[in-house]
């Protein structure tokens, strides 16, 4: 079983095993929110939709699927037709 957290809490790297998590660009989010708030009072301001890319921080709480399960998922078309290890690690295996 793999476990993934969200927001990369300060203790995520201190747990045993260290928790894989999704890190959000909190500084960038806060700064942009303040800039948008200031722009909101300007005449002619137009609303914008912004997307911020989170970062996956892989630690020890996740692993590739077990071989038996990986073979079944591969047969079902998961992993983009690549070996599960290559899909998981990004290697060309």
Q: Are residues 30 and 42 in the same domain?
A: yes
DSSP annotation of 23: E
Q: Are residues 53 and 73 in the same domain?
A: no
Least confident of 28-32, 33-37, 61-65, 85-89: 85-89
Residue 89 has pLDDT above 70, yes or no: no
| Of 28, 21, 27, nearest in space to 7 by CA | 21
Sign of CA dihedral 51, 52, 53, 59: negative
Residue 82 has pLDDT above 80, yes or no: no
Q: What is the pTM of this model?
A: 0.58
Q: Are residues 50 and 68 in the same domain?
A: no
CB atoms within 10 A of CB 19: 21
Q: Which domain holds residue 58?
A: 1-62
Residue 33 has pLDDT above 90, yes or no: yes
Residue 37 has pLDDT above 60, yes or no: yes
Sign of CA dihedral 26, 28, 31, 33: negative
Total tally of structural domains belonging to the chain? 2
């Amino acid at each position: 079983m793999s476990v993934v957290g969200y927001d990369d809490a300060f203790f995520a790297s201190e747990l045993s095993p260290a928790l894989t998590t999704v890190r959000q660009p909190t500084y960038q989010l806060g700064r942009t929110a303040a800039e948008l708030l200031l722009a909101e009072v300007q005449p002619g301001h137009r609303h914008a939709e912004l997307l911020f890319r989170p970062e996956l921080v892989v630690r020890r709480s996740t692993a590739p699927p077990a071989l038996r399960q990986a073979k079944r998922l591969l047969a079902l078309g998961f992993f983009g037709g690549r070996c599960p290890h290559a899909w998981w690690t990004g290697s060309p295996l």
